[in-house]
Amino acid sequence: MPELPEVEVSRMGITPHILQQTVTKVNIHNPNMRWPVPDDVYQITNLSVIAVERRAKYLLLICELGSVILHLGMSGNLRVVDKNEPLKKHDHIEFIFGNDKALRLNDPRRFGCCLWQAPDTVHKLLSKLGPEPLTDEFTAKRVYEYSRNKKVPVKQFIMDNAVVVGVGNIYANESLFKAGIHPKREAGKVSLARYQQLIPIIKETLAAAITQGGTTLKDFAQSDGKPGYFAQQLLVYGRKGEPCMKCEKELTEIRLGQRSTVYCSNCQK
C-alpha cells in the first residue's frame, strides 16, 4: 500500500494544480469506499483550496468551511487531469476546478476514503496520531521513554501510529536493517543508544524516499503518472533468500503482525 513517502509525493504532485483553485463541482461516482462518502464533502463546492496538507497517510484539501480528508487505502492513487478526459475504471471521486482540471481518486479495492473535517475540529481518525517522523517532535528520547516495559517487537512498535505516524512496513524493514536491530527484539529492551541510532535512520530513509519520488510497487504511481524510484535502493524488503548486502548471508523472512518482515540474522541483533 502507499506509505508516507508515496502520500507526500502525491501531495507535492497535486498541489501546484489545485492550490488557490476554486472547486466548481464534486462528482461522487461511487460513495461506497472504506466508509461511505458523506454528503458533507459537497460543501467544498464553490470554495477555493487554501492549503493541501498531509497528516500521517491522510491528505487534507483545506478550505474555509472545513477540509476534505483523502486516504489512498491499499491500492489508490490521485491524478490531476483535464476535466474532459474520460474516466478510468475505478475513478470513484473527482473534484473539478475552475482551471478546467480534475483531481481524481482511483481505488480498485476501495479501501481508501473521502471524509469531511469541520473547521476547528479534529476528525477522530486523526485525533490520536503520534508525531510526524520528519519533525523535531520525533526524538530518540521520546521513543525510548514510551517504549519502556513494552514487550511488542520493535518493528511493530515503530509502526504504531501512537508512537510515530507513517513508518510503514517497507521503511520499518529498511531502517531496522540499517540500524542493525533485530525486528523481533522487544521494544522495551532496546537501549537509548540504539534508539539514538535508529531514529535518525528512519528520518533519513523516509526523506530519501520522498526525494526520489516514493517507492514504486504494483499499485502506486505519482499524480503525474511517473513512478517512484526508491525501490531500486531497497536493502532487505522483498529480498527474501537473497544475499545480505553487508555480509552476504541469506536474508530471512518471517511474519510480524501479519506483515512480511525481512532481515539479516547475522547483521541484526
Interior CA angle at 2 toward 243 and 79, to 5°?
130
Q: How far apart are CA 23 and CA 120, in angstroms?
A: 21
Determine if residue 178 is labeled as part of a ligand binding site: no
What are φ and ψ of residue 63, in 5° steps?
-130, 180
Alpha helices by DSSP H, listed for the chain, are 4-18, 140-147, 154-158, 169-179, 192-211
**Where would I find the beta strands (DSSP E) of the chain?**
23-28, 51-55, 58-63, 66-71, 77-82, 91-97, 101-106, 113-117, 252-256, 259-263
What are φ and ψ of residue 210, in 5° steps?
-65, -45
- Active-site residues, by number, are 2-3, 57, 259
Determine if residue 90 is labeled as part of a ligand binding site: yes
Are the CB atoms for 203 and 134 separated by under 8 Å? yes
Known binding positions for DNA: 90, 109, 150
Known binding positions: 90, 109, 150
